[in-house]
Amino acid sequence: MRYSILSLARNALSGHAHWPRAWRDPPLQPAYDAVIVGAGGHGLATAYHLARDHGLSRIAVLDKGWLGGGNTARNTVTIRANYLREPSMRFYAAGIRLWEELSRTLNYNVMFSQRGQIDLIQTWAKLRDVKRRQAALRLIGVPFEILTPAQARERLPLLAPEAPVRLPVLAASWHPTAGVARHDAVAWGYARAADAMGVDIVQNCEVRSIRREGDRVIGVETARGFVATPRVAMCVSAHAGDLAATAGFRLPIETVPLQAFVSEPLKPMLDVIVNIPQFATYFSQSDKGELVIGGGADAYPSYAARGSFAVIEEAVAAMLSLFPALKRVRMLRQWAGSIDLCHDITPILSPAPVAGLSLSVGWGSGGFKAIPIGGVALAHLVATGAPHPLAEHLLLSRFAKGRPLFETAGASNRL
């Protein structure tokens, strides 16, 4: 069923009691042309593009829990392209163009709100870096401006007037095409669109190991038995290490907690995303009025999925030093996700050392924004065996060649 103003009116007349299910709950088949492990944003987007762009017909997305229930549900939904390296900038800029069309593409409102992002610059080193980034982004057509402190305060009345703080605001950067989206809607939209093309989304079906014969993948062992397939795509975030070990290789990835908090709902007070890069803290206001606040990653690997108090203290202190008006705001919830932090903070979207196995892991603190472009690129890789032209910098082989691509623009580090 196509969602439209007409379908809404029709269903309103019948009291919204007859909406069809958005996707099926299909039984697990014994064999598929491709199996995607992990029904988060990346897994679902990949299934959608495999079916739509590459004509594969028997595709399964398997998840040990429910779809969109992992890091897709836990992130702080920031979508932007102001990365450090040129190939990263190009990749995420192409991602933003997909986001701009996504609600129409999927016939599902993902509530993409392109409200822009302001980074508050507190050191001369960061200011030099942002000026270089401005020039590099301009070369590839991404609007990005430097603001004076006065211009930043005009755009951001919540920012405290100039005061003797330890690290005063020296300048700000303005990234007008950055935005936020509704995280659940992204998973649901891709799930519904993929399901409509015949993709089997099988939930509560944990993939326990990858079975190989010689150098080739022949299938996966699941909680409901063996599934034969010549192509497996791994979109499992923090569990990448466990699954890679079952296929007999290791990855340059550590699992680390990343925290977020939301405040009580407030009246509209903030219409942009604010980032304080010096303290890896950023926040925006949700449609419900809550401030959604992201902290830095914990400083040591852990699967505990609960962040350290030291990080909470640092995030709150950074926010209050520049936004003292928020001092009496109460926090409603705090949570952490387990992120898959790659050694060079650049993700891995690459063939694995085992033929037939493709990896989309190491997204770290930045996976959500990459869902649409990551799905396009991974589907291309799974279907053709060759990397997508925009994702050639994401190959695992960069490490053996001694050419890691060190990124800095993530919540997972402070530079």
Partner 1 sequence: MLVIACPFCGPRAENEFLCGGEPVRRPDAATGADGAALAELLYARDNVRGPQDEFWWHKHGCRAWFRIRRDTRDNRILP
Q: Give the interface with partner 1 as residue ranges (CB under 8 A).
A: 240-242, 245, 250-255, 299-304, 308-310, 343, 399-402, 404
> What is the C-alpha separation between 115 and 176, in angstroms, rounded?
7
CB count, 10 Å around CB of 113?
A: 17
Separation between Cα atoms, residue 225 and residue 206, nearest integer Å: 10
Beta carbons within 10 angstroms of residue 271's beta carbon: 12
Whole-number minimum distance, CB 370 to partner 1, in Å? 21
Contacting residues for 165 by C-beta, under 8 A, at least 6 apart:
321, 322
Provide, rounded to whole angstroms, the least separation between the CB of residue 410 and partner 1. 17
Q: Which is nearer to partner 1, 69 or 252 (CB)?
A: 252
Which C-beta is closer to partner 1: that of 154 or that of 242?
A: 242
Q: Please, what is the minimum distance in Å from the beta carbon of residue 330 to partner 1?
A: 22
Q: Which two tokens stand for residue 352?
A: 């694995």
CB of 263 to partner 1, least distance (A): 23
Is the CB of 168 or the CB of 301 nearer to partner 1?
Answer: 301
Compute φ and ψ for 43, nearest 5 degrees: -65, -45
The radius of gyration of the chain's CA atoms, rounded to the nearest angstrom, is 22
Nearer to partner 1, 16 or 250 (CB): 250
**Shortest Å, Cβ 139 to partner 1:** 30
What is the Cα–Cα distance from 193 to 110, expressed in whole angstroms? 13
Whichever of 115 and 343 has its CB closer to partner 1, that residue is 343
When the beta carbons of 102 and 240 are compared against partner 1, the nearer one is 240
152 exposed, middle or buried (CB, 10 Å; 0-12, 13-18, 19+)?
A: buried
- Closer residue to partner 1 in complex, CB, 342/376: 342
- Looking up tokens 């890789």, which residue turns up? 381
Smallest gap from Cβ 267 to partner 1, in A, equals 34
Amino acid at 104: R
**Between residues 229 and 255, which has the closer beta carbon with respect to partner 1?**
255
Minimal distance, residue 299 CB to partner 1, in Å: 6
Beta bridge partners of 261: 293, 334
Nearest approach in angstroms of CB 355 to partner 1 is 17
CB atoms within 10 A of CB 8: 12
Query: What are the DSSP calls for 20-32, one per residue?
Result: PPSS--PPPPSB-
Q: Report yes or no: 224 and 27 within 8 Å, Cβ to Cβ.
A: no
